[in-house]
């Protein structure tokens, strides 16, 4: 009778070897993914001198006065188009009146694609140095649908993406930082200061729970207007605003 040496281990079954092999591959893939994530370049934002608040207030008053003085007679016609989808109560609501004022200066364009703001810049007023910095920032303002990805508590910056243009953005605003959470969407005219963007006047917040409804509404708007999404904020800013406003949970005025 032949005795079996029990000290020798029985080789593992094929199924056991496969399980261990699959686990090893999964761990290796996870380690590779983590390493790739860690190696991604961090979004660097340069420090830059902010605009002088007093100079900003002065330029804002100049622009508003210019718009009323030179283009006051055409404001009712532009307002009629802007408030075309609004109720009678909404037409007199203070925050919507502010939204229209921003649209009239920064969003409305004539047949040649020129804004009221562009006409003000070409009017030839003598501006002080800080006022020129403000005007330059305002001329580069754009209407933005900003989706927040994460908040940097160290410097109060909001990191996310311009949804319609598909580019990363970093927003700086104390009120927005307090009001927004990752997944929320902020819709506003924004102007750049270095690598940072600041909301200009009224901003509209769409909570994360309604972000999908906003995305669907913007997609439908692009289809019905015959534009690519990237064209909407420049070609149809009023319609983008109302699409967001209808699903928004609040509006506020930005603050440095």
Q: Report if residue 102 sits inside a domain.
A: yes
Domain-embedded: residue 16: no
The answer on 146 and 253 residing in a single domain is yes
Residue 4, in any domain of the structure: no
Q: Which residue intervals of the chain are DSSP H helices?
A: 14-39, 53-71, 75-82, 94-102, 116-121, 129-139, 174-179, 208-225, 232-235, 237-245
Which domain range does residue 119 map to? 49-139
Is 170 a domain residue? yes
Looking at residue 1, what is its pLDDT?
A: 46
Same domain, 132 and 233: no
- pLDDT confidence of residue 40: 45
Nearest by Cα to 184 from 164, 209, 213, 159: 209
Q: Is residue 24 part of a domain?
A: no
- Exposed, middle or buried by CB within 10 Å (0-12, 13-18, 19+), for 207? middle
- Whole-model pTM above 0.95? no
| 8-54 confidence digits (pLDDT tens) | 445 555 554 445 555 555 565 565 555 544 444 455 545 567 889 99
């Amino acid at each position: 009778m032949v005795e079996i040496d029990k000290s020798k281990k029985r080789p593992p079954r094929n199924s056991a070897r496969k399980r261990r092999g699959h686990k090893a591959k999964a761990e290796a893939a996870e380690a590779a993914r983590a390493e790739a994530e860690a190696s991604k370049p961090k979004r660097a934002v340069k420090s830059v001198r902010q605009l002088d608040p007093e100079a900003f207030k002065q330029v804002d008053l100049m622009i508003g006065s210019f718009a009323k003085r030179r283009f006051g007679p055409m404001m009712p016609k532009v307002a009629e188009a802007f408030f075309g989808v609004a109720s009678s109560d909404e037409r007199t609501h203070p925050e919507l009146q502010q939204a229209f004022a921003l649209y009239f200066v920064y969003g409305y364009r004539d047949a040649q694609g020129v804004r009221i703001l562009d006409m003000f810049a070409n009017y030839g007023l003598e501006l002080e140095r800080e006022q020129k910095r403000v005007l330059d920032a305002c001329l580069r303002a754009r209407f933005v649908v900003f989706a927040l990805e994460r908040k940097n508590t160290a410097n109060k910056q909001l990191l996310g993406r311009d949804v319609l243009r598909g580019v990363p953005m970093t927003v700086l605003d104390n009120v927005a930082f307090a009001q927004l959470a990752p997944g929320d969407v902020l819709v506003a005219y924004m102007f750049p200061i270095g690598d940072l963007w600041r909301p200009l006047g009224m901003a509209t917040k769409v909570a994360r729970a309604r972000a999908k409804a906003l995305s669907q509404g913007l997609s439908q708007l692009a289809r019905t207007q015959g534009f690519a999404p990237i064209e909407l904020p420049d070609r149809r800013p009023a319609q983008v605003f109302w699409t967001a406003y209808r699903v928004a949970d609040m509006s506020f005025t930005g603050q440095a």
